[in-house]
Amino acid sequence: MRIIKYTHACVRIEHAGQVLVIDPGVWSEPEALAGADAILLTHEHADHVDPAKLAGLAAPIYAPADAKIPELTVTGLVAGAEFTAAGLDIRAVGGRHAFIHDGLPDCANLGYIVAGGIYHPGDSVHLPDRPIETLLVPAHAGWLKLTEALDLAAAVRARRTVPIHDGQINERGLGSVNYWLGLSAGAGYRYLAPGEALD
């Protein structure tokens, strides 16, 4: 299985000749979607979904049932849903987007556990209910304190931890985030620049 990180929260998973793409937002590179067999959207915000990039694709698109993405036809999901997409078993977890301020935003957000071991939480720090092999940990956001990301990485104790949701961090900030996440996640921590892969 190959995991390729693209800008911000977009991740491409290649396995057995099939391609699953999670959260191809406005900042992600179009090539992330090349040959996609299925697309997972964690929620409706533009940094996670770019309807213009997805329009006309033949691949099925899965998103929270309550997500407001009128430009796209999606298969709506709820927390606890289990299904197969791009040949991979997937479980939807969580339910709501983390708050930034004063209870906003309040929209549906699902994290996805892929193939029983890769976890993409979207815009949340929802703790999965099973062991995780590869944690895709949010690194920076208006809704996130770095200590929450560190706590998620420490609690999950994944064999491999890769930061996502980092599109708004400059190089100095990224150095600091990588230092702290590396301490919290341990030896399995690895930063991937856009386009880099984890095999």
pLDDT at 123: 98
Q: Is residue 52 part of a domain?
A: yes
Sheet with 88-96, strands from edge to edge, namely: 82-85, 88-96, 108-114, 118-120, 134-138, 160-164
Q: Tell me whether residue 153 is in a domain.
A: yes
- Domain range for residue 99? 2-192
Flag residues of the chain having pLDDT under 70. Answer: none
Residue 198 lies in a domain: no
Per-residue confidence (pLDDT) for residue 116, from 0 to 100 = 94
Q: What is the pLDDT of residue 195?
A: 97
Q: What is the pLDDT of residues 65-114, one digit of tens each?
A: 999 999 999 999 999 999 999 999 999 999 999 999 999 999 999 999 99
Query: Which pLDDT score is estimated for 11?
Result: 98
Structural domain tally of the chain?
A: 1
Residue 62: give its domain's CATH number. Answer: 3.60.15.10
Residue 110 has a pLDDT of 98
pLDDT at 88: 98
Distance CA 139, CA 103 (A): 21
| Intra-chain end-to-end CA distance of the chain, in Å | 6
Report yes or no on 132 lying in a domain: yes
Note the pTM of the prediction, 2 decimals. Answer: 0.96
161 in any annotated domain: yes
